[in-house]
């Protein structure tokens, strides 16, 4: 090979290398956070090419899981966007803000103590008749004959607002729940939650997630799926039968706790506290409004609550006698 030809090939190779080196490389630095969109920005598959299959845009005020960022002084975040194909997309950092949760949340704290608050909605609605979920309640709706989800609360009670920004905490404490950032739930979980947490109509699900759920998991989907699974076990037991068969009647905390023993093993009832409030009608009767059910242990979708109740905290019975109120405000 001639010297001239060798020089020509070497020149071509060097030019190729320089061309490749001149192209920016986008590494991925993993993040565990949530991103609240402020603009309807494009969500691209490639930063360099700007390709956007499906013409995906962010929805302002929606919250998206953050997979990572392109460098330490990030220009883009990689988000997981449900329904997009591919699901992971790059967006400019100026399109919104992180919820400032750099540290991953442990799903189950070391003590593994939890309180499931299960409400009897007709009694609650007697005290809050103006709420939308109460004005629309009917005798045929799920919450007329079943306990519903108030929340699943990691204990102790002061274990709240884990890695939540001050702005969100202030909105929540001011009960401006409709202004809280939306959370990511699958369509199936959201639809089930609408039935089993009627307070969702008043954005209770946002309040419960930011105050309590953030101390349980880094995933709203996991938090609510497992909360519903626990509630279902109560409703599908002899405890659920006791409530459904005594609508319009009075039952004692002893009866309720005895039924927990029958359903879930001796001593289970000692972990249950009955909460009552006075009706607003002329009789001013005590109504059973809620059960506080104390668990201890690792919670998964298929965890039997017998094992959680066995290790749960022993509590006082609460109110001694209350009415299982029928659906319909002041219905007698």
Is residue 2 over pLDDT 80? no
230-278: pLDDT as tens digits: 999 999 999 999 999 999 999 999 999 999 999 999 999 999 999 999 8
- Structural domains in the chain? 24-98 (2.30.30), 113-323 (3.90.730.10)
* pTM of this structure: 0.68
Contacts of 307 (CB under 8 A, 6+ apart): 297
Rounded distance between C-alpha atoms, residue 154 and residue 245, angstroms: 31
Largest CA distance in the chain: 110
Least confidently predicted of 5-9, 31-35, 46-50, 125-129: 5-9
Per DSSP (E only), the strands in the chain are 29-37, 63-69, 76-80, 88-92, 96-98, 113-119, 148-154, 250-252, 272-278, 286-296, 321-323
Q: What is the mean pLDDT of residues 157-178?
A: 94
Is residue 66 over pLDDT 60? yes
Report the share of the chain in percent with pLDDT over 90.
69
Q: What is the mean pLDDT of residues 267-295?
A: 91
182-240: pLDDT as tens digits: 998 999 999 999 999 999 999 999 999 999 999 999 899 999 999 999 999 999 999 99
Residue-level pLDDT at 5: 47
Helices (H), the chain: 3-22, 121-127, 132-135, 166-173, 187-196, 204-211, 220-235, 238-244, 253-264, 305-310
């Amino acid at each position: 090979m001639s010297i001239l030809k060798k020089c020509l090939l070497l020149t071509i190779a060097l030019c190729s290398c320089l061309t490749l080196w001149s192209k920016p490389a986008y590494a991925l630095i993993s993040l565990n956070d949530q991103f609240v969109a402020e603009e309807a920005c494009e969500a691209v598959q490639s930063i360099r090419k700007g390709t956007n299959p499906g013409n995906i845009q962010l929805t302002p005020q929606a919250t998206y899981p953050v997979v990572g960022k392109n460098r330490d002084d990030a220009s883009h975040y990689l988000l997981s966007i449900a329904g997009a194909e591919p699901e992971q997309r790059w967006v400019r950092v100026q399109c919104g803000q992180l919820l400032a949760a750099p540290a991953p949340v442990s799903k189950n704290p070391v003590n593994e103590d939890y309180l499931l608050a299960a409400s009897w909605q007709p009694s609650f609605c007697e005290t809050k008749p103006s709420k939308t979920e109460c004005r629309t309640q009917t005798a045929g709706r799920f919450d007329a004959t079943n306990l519903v989800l108030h929340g699943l609360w990691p204990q102790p009670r002061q274990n709240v607002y884990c890695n939540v920004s001050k702005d969100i905490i202030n909105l929540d404490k001011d009960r401006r729940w409709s202004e809280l950032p939306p959370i990511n739930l699958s369509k199936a979980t959201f639809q089930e939650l609408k039935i089993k947490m009627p307070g969702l109509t008043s954005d209770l699900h946002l309040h419960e997630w930011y105050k309590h759920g953030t101390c349980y998991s880094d995933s709203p989907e996991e938090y609510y799926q497992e909360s519903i699974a626990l509630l279902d076990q109560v409703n599908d037991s002899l405890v659920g039968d006791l409530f459904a068969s005594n609508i319009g009647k009075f039952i004692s905390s002893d009866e309720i706790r005895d039924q927990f023993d029958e359903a879930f093993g001796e001593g289970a009832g000692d972990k249950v506290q009955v909460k009552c409030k006075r009706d607003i009608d002329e009789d001013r009767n005590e109504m059973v409004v809620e059960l506080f059910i104390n668990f201890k242990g690792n919670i998964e979708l298929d965890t039997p609550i017998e094992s959680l109740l066995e290790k749960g905290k022993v509590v006082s019975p609460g109110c001694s006698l209350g009415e299982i109120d029928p659906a319909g405000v002041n219905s007698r």
